[in-house]
Amino acid sequence: MKILIPTKLDKAAAATLTAAGYEVVQNDSEPIDVLVAAHPDANGLIVRSEKVTEAIIDALPALKCVIRAGAGYDNIDYAYARTKGIDVMNTPGANSNAVAEEVVAMILAAYRHVVPADTTTRAGEWNKKKYMGRELTRKTVGILGLGNIGRILVKRLQGFECTVLGYDHFLSHQRALNIGATPSTLEEIFSTADIISVHVPGGPATRNMINAQLIGMMKEGAMLINCARYGVVDEEALRDAKAAGKKLIYCTDVHPKDTAAMQPSADIADVMLPHLGANTAEANKMAAMRAASQMEAYFANGDTSCVINVEKPADLNPAHLQLAAMLGKLCYQAGGCKPIRKIECTFYNNLRSFRKWFTPWILAGTVPGAEQGLMPAAAEASLREHGIVFKAREPKDDKLYDDALTLDLFMEEDGKQKITSVRGMVVDGEPVVSRIDSFNHLYAALRGHTLIFRYQDRPGVIATIGQLLSQAGINIENIVAPKDHTSGDSLAVIKTETPVSDDQVKAIAHSIVAKLAFALTL
């Protein structure tokens, strides 16, 4: 077996694989396409940021496995690799300590004016009075996201006797306390913390999460650090706040592209680095060792537990996987978007034999911002990382449904457990929801724009909803409104041709005195 490593990766990977009997070619001085052309017989490929395109894949007819020595794998065309029967893996978590330490380094550099003090002293100046600093010791630090990096950062700050506030929507109160952080809201953190460090996923769910409102709540002289993803911080809002005279410190290590260019945060950043978070010898070695062990386990033992682009069973209908994600989003909204403690699923009929394949889709539906496209084992690990217990239940013999899926979310609300339950199936190729809590026989299509209200049943409510939607120029495609005779409530599930805004939902909810109201587009 020949393994190609066309990147600047710690030599430990090559040494480990060579000792195991593999032929290893490592060369970071040549472009990947040149190296690939010289070694078309390579069976394995380990990369970092190098792009593994269709052309690269086509140039390696013997290729069986590609490993990204790091967490993200967008640089690899893993979908095309699947069509060629090539497995793709990553090594998440290898860089966590490096990023956490970088945050501490940026705090100290900003507080003690390390960069400008060094530059001016080398130039012959002596600006001791100008560079009066501050101490990290006993400061209040807010950490947004208590995943691997956030948790390590809590530990690293303990030596500085900091008060640590933590925001993570998916961790229980006690679990956050056990980590060493006081559970807090975003508003509490931004109004009280001296330092705020961001460690949340990127993507639409967190885009401009740190907005003008939160920035406006920050104390004078407070520090904001972004070592997560570009776009999480609304830098335009930060620019406006600084221009208005607010004294804030901004440190960033993330940019639109990892390339030489004038970065958009250059005028507002007090400390900015070229995405150095994972750029330590130790993190590089850790990623190298994990990549080597995964490559060896793959070829020697057929271990595919870390594969992120595995082919789904041919007889598993993709619509059922989409159903799982859609039901997850619906159930999360119906439960009031509260922190999830446990997820239980029941798979009926033929779905029972495929249940492990549903875990990544359930994760994607129930946890906003969760990593997409994971393998089942990695998805279960991600759920555990968020403090969520996941259980696949056996159906009871007396409930004989078709290929259906029941999803129960156990959420935490005011220290108490709240259970929200939905059931769905695929009808004529389309995912539909058949039950929401005690409201049965819905059979409402999940795709498109859905509006849901729960209210005390009485005459005229549906007419009021229809009138208000009509006044807003929103056409109704379908309505189903079953009544729960035990509670006396009705649930209106309304399909609309166009989206309904949050303000419109609130206005209708106020008019009908709704107990639950939300809009969902799937």
Which pLDDT tens digit goes with each residue over 217-245?
999 999 999 999 899 999 999 999 999 99
Name the phi and psi angles at 508, rounded to 5.
-65, -45
User: CA 383 to CA 494: how far, in whole Å?
Assistant: 31
- pTM of the predicted model, to two decimals? 0.69
Label residues 316-328 b or e (16+ Cβ within 10 Å = b): ebebbbbbbbbbb
- Are 193 and 140 in contact, with CB atoms under 8 Å apart? yes
User: CA 81 to CA 373: how far, in whole Å?
Assistant: 14
How many CB atoms sit inside 10 A of residue 64's CB? 17
Structure tokens at 242: 């600084």
Identify the pLDDT of residue 225.
98
What's the gap between Cα 467 and its chain centre? 39
Closest by CA to 6, choosing from 33, 27, 37, 36, is: 27
Structure tokens at 236: 């335009």
Name the phi and psi angles at 44, rounded to 5.
-135, 150
CATH of domain 2-93+281-301: 3.40.50.720
Q: Which helix (H) or strand (E) holds 2?
A: strand 2-5
In the chain, which segments carry CATH 3.30.70.260? 448-522
Identify the pLDDT of residue 207.
86
Label residues 126-143 b or e (16+ Cβ within 10 Å = b): eeeeeeeebebeebbbbb
Identify the pLDDT of residue 91.
87
Work out the angle between the directed axes of helices 359-366 and 376-385 (0-180°, nearest 10): 40
In the chain, which segments carry CATH 3.30.1330.90? 312-442
Length of the chain as a residue count:
522
Closest by CA to 405, choosing from 483, 478, 461, 345, is: 345
Fold of domain 448-522: Alpha-Beta Plaits (3.30.70)
Q: Which residues pair with 163 in a beta bridge?
A: 140
Closest by CA to 47, choosing from 253, 273, 295, is: 295
Q: Does the 96-272 domain belong in CATH 3.40.50.720? A: yes
In the chain the first and final C-alpha atoms are separated, in Å, by 45
Closest by CA to 415, choosing from 517, 518, 341, is: 341
User: CA 166 to CA 146: how far, in whole Å?
Assistant: 7
Identify the pLDDT of residue 371.
67
Q: Which helix (H) or strand (E) holds 455?
A: strand 449-456
Closest by CA to 492, choosing from 519, 521, 522, 472, is: 519
Identify the pLDDT of residue 432.
94
- Are 433 and 483 in contact, with CB atoms under 8 Å apart? no
Q: Distances in Å between the alpha carbon of 7 and those of 46, 50, 458?
A: 8, 7, 68
- Are 46 and 8 in contact, with CB atoms under 8 Å apart? no
- Are 231 and 207 in contact, with CB atoms under 8 Å apart? yes
Q: What angle do CA 92, 97, 100 make, to 5 degrees?
A: 115
User: CA 262 to CA 258: how far, in whole Å?
Assistant: 11
Identify the pLDDT of residue 459.
95
In the chain, which segments carry CATH 3.40.50.720? 2-93+281-301, 96-272
Work out the angle between the directed axes of helices 502-512 and 461-471 (0-180°, nearest 10): 150
Work out the angle between the directed axes of helices 281-301 and 96-111 (0-180°, nearest 10): 170
What's the gap between Cα 337 and its chain centre? 16
User: CA 46 to CA 88: how far, in whole Å?
Assistant: 10
Identify the pLDDT of residue 147.
82
Closest by CA to 60, choosing from 74, 73, 47, is: 47
Identify the pLDDT of residue 79.
83
Fold of domain 312-442: 60s Ribosomal Protein L30; Chain: A; (3.30.1330)
Closest by CA to 222, choosing from 144, 131, 116, 110, is: 110
Taking only Cα atoms into account, the Rg of the chain, rounded to an integer number of angstroms, comes to: 26
For the chain, residues with pLDDT lower than 50 are none
